[in-house]
């Protein structure tokens, strides 16, 4: 378990339980229970730990589970030499100390029986009920996780499915892995390294996401010792050399107790030593460590409001380091964690990090979802009693289990794992998702919220909100401003996604460069696989044929009469984007091209001033044209949405758009549009002027480029 909080200044309120003696338990396990009406001595530690969290717990079912587990595992031994029953006992004790409820402990005692003995699921169901059977079956499906790298992707897929339906399955698996890691020394070094890598890459991040910090920190230290033995020994020696570092923190803790006592705030102030990996990380970040760097202060209070009262007193009586302040009570982390983080400096300049939380927050911080009990207990409104069962405890109308403790990331994981085309894709995306250690919340335009990993883009938001309908996303507005789909979102941003009405539209291969979530990447990859032509570079459009007569070239729907020039490419000037029936003038430019301007364009005067001779240009038969329009309006909510809706209703396609920053409550939108027929331009401009708040729409007029 993680290093326990100590309080040098006050006597312990409860005698600590002795360390589990596997050899003694092994002997007790071989002797079996001495009486049918009492809990066997071999699980006395489990019963004591369980009653500490659940004083009214009925231990009879634990006794029956132990008897079945001991008899079925009798004659089996672990590689370390102990009777095999010591393993489920140790796993169950880990969970009992975290506060797991009786059903979880019962399943933990039996978690290897179906896999390794003659006990069947039907037998477990008949003797212990549907709920215990469900948990044992879920853990049984995970047992091959340690055997062979080729089997890991599919095994972990099953693990996530089982976990998503009941987080207690993963709790048992994590405790199982922790005990196996504690006894890993009997295995070959290469197997130790392989198991440690899987633990590091998948199980530790899963423990973090389930909020089970007590398991996560010890797993981190065990993996650290195996995979980085030199760094581990250096860190161990550093901690040993600073064995008196706790004295510096104890001095600060006593000052904090005095301040809070004088303020009339009831609180426990504990010194919480850092574990090995935490010390290693702090050393890499800060270099040489002082005495107060080897631990943190933990302040425990009764109510949420007391947390902020403590914070106020600390920031008043000590010098706070504002850059270290974080409020995870108002904005809890994705794994249910809540706490106030701050750092204060005493009169001698020593800086101490402080965690402030309630006792309940502390339970959840240490044990995560394990501390929340049985999420499927149904309270009978008649007598207040509760019951649980996989079949009926929380099944909804569709028979699905509704887990109120299941974090949002786990729900998303279940959705995209079903869409993963193969185990290898699932494995890769799982590792990428678990590597993300921070989550942001963004808001829909209608006020709803989306939980996304830090660094997510508008592409991720589109698939999180619309699923496969996001294939037709053509743009987004972030915090009221038009933004590219590649735009990264920040915590608290408001995003409005614009979808095309054309059902044939689909994602670009470039979207994969901006997608961070597995759901987005799998959906995009799947669509591109079904539409291989979309992933290929578009072939260049065929060049328009040369008109009869000297040097006529047509581009768009303009034709230049240039008898003295070689075949010329005709292009419409971007500064004024002429359309029929504008009066136009052309000028020969570098490369033999002819640029066409409206007669009133400033570019015409500029070209004449440079001595360029005009080229006669006429409009051809083609009806399509491209035009740039500028809409000036008073700033208001939904202006961009209303303008783009008016443009779409008029039959024009948006090629590009820019929105200038507001100035004196006025905004300017510039759109480059593709029209099917130039004759529709006046109607389009009228439709845009009819949008509320728009006071002018005009053709673009700005200096031409050289």
Query: Are 314 and 256 in contact, with CB atoms under 8 Å apart?
Result: yes
Query: Mean pLDDT, to the nearest integer, of 29-56?
Result: 68
- pLDDT value for 263: 92
Do 596 and 554 form a contact (C-beta atoms < 8 A)? no
> Is pLDDT at 299 greater than 90 in this prediction?
yes
pLDDT confidence of residue 409? 57
pLDDT at 184 over 80: yes
Q: Does the structure show a pLDDT above 90 at 341?
A: yes
pLDDT > 90 in the chain, percent: 15
What is the predicted pLDDT for the residue at 200? 85
Cβ–Cβ < 8 Å for 299, 268: yes
Q: For residue 31, what pLDDT is reported? A: 41
The whole-number pLDDT of residue 307 equals 94
667 forms beta bridges with 633
Handedness of CA 36, 41, 46, 50 (dihedral sign): positive
Where do runs of H (alpha helix) occur along 318-442? 359-367, 408-419, 423-435
Q: Which residues pair with 444 in a beta bridge?
A: 495
Q: Pick 243 or 647 by higher pLDDT.
A: 647
Q: How far is 204 from 701, CA to CA, in rounded Å?
A: 60
Q: Angle at which helices 152-165 and 167-182 pack, to 10 degrees?
A: 130
Read off the pLDDT band of 612 (50, 70, 90).
confident
Phi, psi dihedral angles at 313 (to 5 degrees): -65, -40
Q: pLDDT class for 413, splitting at 50, 70, 90?
A: low
pLDDT for 102:
92
Angle between helices 213-227 and 229-241 (to 10 degrees): 110
Mean pLDDT of 390-397: 36
Gap between the Cα atoms of 620 and 556, Å rounded:
9
pLDDT above 90: residue 261:
yes
Q: What is the DSSP string of 636-674?
A: -TTHHHHHHHHHHHTT-EEEEEEEPPPBTTEEEEEEEEE
Handedness of CA 204, 210, 216, 219 (dihedral sign): negative
Q: What DSSP line would sit under 311-371, residue for residue?
A: HHHHHHHSEE-GGG-EETTTS--TTS---EEEEEE-TT--EEEEEEEEHHHHHHHHHGGGG
Residue 357: its pLDDT value, please? 94
3-state class (DSSP) for residue 351: strand
Longest distance between any two alpha carbons in the chain, whole Å: 114
Average pLDDT across the chain, whole number: 75
pLDDT of residue 517: 80
pLDDT at 18: 43
Lowest-pLDDT choice from 10-24, 272-286, 409-423, 442-456:
10-24
Q: Average pLDDT in the 283-296 region?
A: 82
pLDDT at 300: 95
Choose the weakest-confidence range: 72-81, 400-409, 577-586.
400-409
**How many CB atoms neighbour CB 201 within 10 A?**
16
pLDDT at 405: 45
Three-state SS at 71: helix
Please confirm whether the linkage preceding 467 is cis (ω < 30° from 0).
no
Provide the pLDDT for residue 219: 93
| Beta strand residue intervals within 590-646, DSSP E | 594-598, 614-619, 625-634
If pLDDT is split at 50, 70 and 90, which confidence band does 35 have? very low
d(CA 311, CA 643): 49
C-alpha 20/C-alpha 183 separation (Å) is: 13
Q: Which of 215-229, 264-278, 647-661 has the lowest mean pLDDT?
A: 647-661
For 50-64, 269-283, 458-472, 617-631, which range has the lowest pLDDT when averaged over its residues?
617-631
Out of 8-12, 173-177, 447-451, 635-639, which region has the weakest mean confidence (pLDDT)? 8-12
φ and ψ of 596, to 5 deg: -105, 125
Who wins on pLDDT, 180 or 18?
180
Query: Is residue 357 within a helix (H) or strand (E), and if so which, with residue range?
Result: strand 351-358
CB 374 within 8 A of CB 138: no
Q: Is 604 helix (H, G, I), strand (E, B) or coil?
A: helix
Are the beta carbons of 665 and 616 closer than 8 angstroms? no
Res. 144: pLDDT tops 70: no
Q: How far apart are CA 656 and CA 482, in angstroms?
A: 11
Per-residue CA distances from 680 to 82, 628, 630, 683 (Å): 86, 14, 17, 5
Does residue 145 carry a pLDDT above 50? Answer: no
Q: Which residues are catalytic?
A: 115-116
- Check residue 391 and give its pLDDT: 34
Query: Does residue 256 contact residue 269 with C-beta atoms inside 8 Å?
Result: yes
pLDDT at 385: 38
Report how far residue 645's alpha carbon sits from residue 652's, in angstroms, rounded to the nearest whole number. Answer: 10
With a CB cutoff of 8 Å and minimum separation 6, the contacts of 189 are none
Mark residue 458 as left, alpha or beta (left: phi above 0; alpha: psi -120 to 50; beta: remaining).
alpha
> What are the helix (H) ranges across 408-449?
408-419, 423-435
What number of residues does the chain have?
706
C-alpha torsion angle, residues 233, 236, 240, 246 (rounded to 10): 160
- Res 393: pLDDT: 35
Residue 201 DSSP label: I
Distance CA 268, CA 256 (A): 10
* Other Cβ atoms closer than 10 A to 672: 17
pLDDT in tens, 680-696: 788 888 888 888 878 78
| Cα–Cα dist 532/439, whole Å | 33
Cα 701 to chain center, whole Å?
Answer: 46
- pLDDT for position 157: 61
> What H or E segment, with its residue span, contains residue 570?
strand 570-572
DSSP 601: -
Could you count the other beta carbons within 10 Å of the beta carbon of residue 471?
22
| 559 pLDDT above the threshold of 90 | no
Region of 639 (left: φ > 0; alpha: ψ -120 to 50; beta: rest) is alpha
Query: Residue 36 — very low, low, confident or very high, per pLDDT cuts 50/70/90?
Result: very low
The DSSP 8-state label assigned to residue 552 in this structure reads B
Residue 209: CB atoms within 10 A of its CB come to: 25
Residue-level pLDDT at 258: 93
Mapping DSSP onto H, E and C, the string for 500-550 reads: CCCCCCCCCHHHHHCCCCHHHHHHHHHHHHHCHHHHCCCCCCCCCCCECCC
Q: What are phi and psi of 203, to 5 degrees?
A: -70, -40
Question: DSSP 3-state assignment of 444?
Answer: strand
Cα distance from N-terminal residue to C-terminal residue, the chain: 71
Please give the full DSSP string across 472-495, using - where no structure is assigned.
Answer: GEEEEEETTEEE-TTPBP-TT-EE
Q: What is the mean pLDDT of residues 608-629?
A: 75
Q: Give 150-161 pLDDT, tens digit per residue.
A: 445 555 666 666
């Amino acid at each position: 378990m993680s290093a326990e909080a100590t309080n040098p200044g006050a006597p312990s309120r409860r005698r600590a339980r002795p360390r589990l003696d596997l050899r003694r338990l092994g002997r007790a396990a071989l002797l079996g229970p001495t009486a049918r009406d009492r809990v066997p001595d071999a699980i006395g530690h489990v019963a004591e730990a369980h009653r500490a969290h659940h004083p009214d717990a009925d231990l009879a079912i634990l006794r029956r589970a132990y008897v079945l587990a001991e008899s079925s595992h009798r004659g089996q031994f672990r590689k370390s030499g102990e009777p095999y029953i010591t393993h489920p006992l140790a796993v169950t004790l880990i969970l009992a100390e975290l506060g797991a409820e009786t059903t979880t402990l019962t399943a933990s005692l039996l978690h290897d029986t179906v896999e390794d003995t003659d006990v069947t699921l039907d037998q477990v169901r008949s003797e212990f009920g549907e709920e215990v059977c469900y948990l044992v079956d879920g853990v049984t499906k995970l047992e091959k996780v340690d055997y062979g790298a080729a089997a890991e992707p599919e095994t972990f897929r099953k693990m996530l499915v089982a976990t998503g339906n009941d987080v207690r399955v993963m709790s048992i698996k994590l405790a199982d892995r922790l005990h196996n890691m504690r006894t890993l020394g009997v295995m070959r070094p290469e197997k130790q390294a392989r198991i440690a890598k899987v633990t590091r890459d998948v199980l530790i991040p899963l423990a973090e996401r389930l909020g089970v910090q007590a398991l996560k920190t010890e797993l981190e230290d065990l993996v650290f010792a195996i995979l980085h033995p030199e760094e581990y020994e250096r860190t161990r020696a550093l901690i040993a050399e600073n064995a008196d570092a706790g004295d510096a923190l104890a001095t600060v803790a006593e000052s904090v107790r005095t301040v809070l006592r004088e303020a009339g705030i009831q609180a426990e102030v504990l010194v919480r030593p850092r574990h090995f990996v935490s010390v290693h990380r702090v050393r890499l970040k800060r270099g040489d460590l002082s005495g107060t760097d080897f631990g943190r202060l933990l302040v425990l209070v009764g109510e949420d409001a007391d947390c902020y009262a403590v914070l106020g007193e600390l920031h008043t009586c000590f010098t706070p380091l504002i850059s270290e302040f974080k409020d995870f009570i108002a904005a809890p982390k994705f794994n249910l964690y809540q706490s106030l983080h701050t750092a204060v400096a005493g009169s001698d300049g020593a800086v101490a990090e402080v965690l402030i939380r309630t006792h309940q927050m502390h339970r959840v911080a240490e044990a995560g979802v394990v501390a929340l009990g049985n999420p499927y207990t149904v309270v009978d409104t008649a007598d207040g009693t509760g019951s649980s069962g996989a079949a009926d405890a929380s099944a909804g109308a569709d028979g699905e289990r509704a887990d109120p403790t299941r974090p949002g990331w786990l729900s998303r994981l279940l959705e995209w794992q079903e869409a993963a085309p193969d185990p290898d894709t699932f494995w890769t995306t799982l590792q990428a998702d678990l590597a993300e250690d921070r989550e942001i919340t963004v808001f829909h335009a209608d006020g709803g919220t989306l939980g996304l990993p830090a660094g997510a883009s508008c592409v991720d938001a589109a698939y999180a909100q619309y699923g496969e309908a996001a294939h037709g996303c053509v743009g987004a507005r972030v915090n009221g401003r038009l933004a590219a789909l590649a735009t990264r979102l920040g915590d608290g941003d408001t995003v409005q996604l614009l979808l095309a009405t054309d059902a044939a539209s689909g994602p670009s291969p470039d979207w994969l460069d901006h997608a961070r979530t597995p759901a987005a990447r799998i959906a995009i990859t799947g669509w591109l696989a079904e539409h291989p032509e979309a992933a290929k570079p578009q072939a260049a459009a065929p060049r328009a044929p040369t008109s009869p007569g000297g040097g006529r070239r047509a581009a768009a729907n303009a034709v230049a009469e240039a008898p003295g020039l070689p075949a010329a490419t005709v292009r419409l000037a971007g500064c004024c984007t002429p359309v029929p029936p504008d009066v136009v003038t052309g000028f020969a430019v570098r490369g033999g091209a002819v640029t066409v301007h409206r007669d009133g364009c400033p570019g015409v005067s500029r070209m004449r001033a440079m001595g360029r001779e005009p080229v006669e240009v006429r409009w051809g038969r083609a009806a399509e044209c491209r035009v740039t329009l500028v809409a000036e309006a008073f700033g208001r909510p939904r202006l961009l949405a209303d303008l783009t809706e008016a443009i779409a209703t008029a039959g024009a396609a948006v090629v590009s758009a820019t929105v200038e920053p507001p100035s004196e409550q006025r905004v300017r939108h510039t759109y480059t549009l593709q029209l099917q027929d130039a004759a529709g331009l006046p109607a389009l401009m009228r439709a845009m002027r009819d949008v509320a708040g728009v006071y002018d729409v005009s053709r673009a007029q700005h200096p031409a480029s050289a």
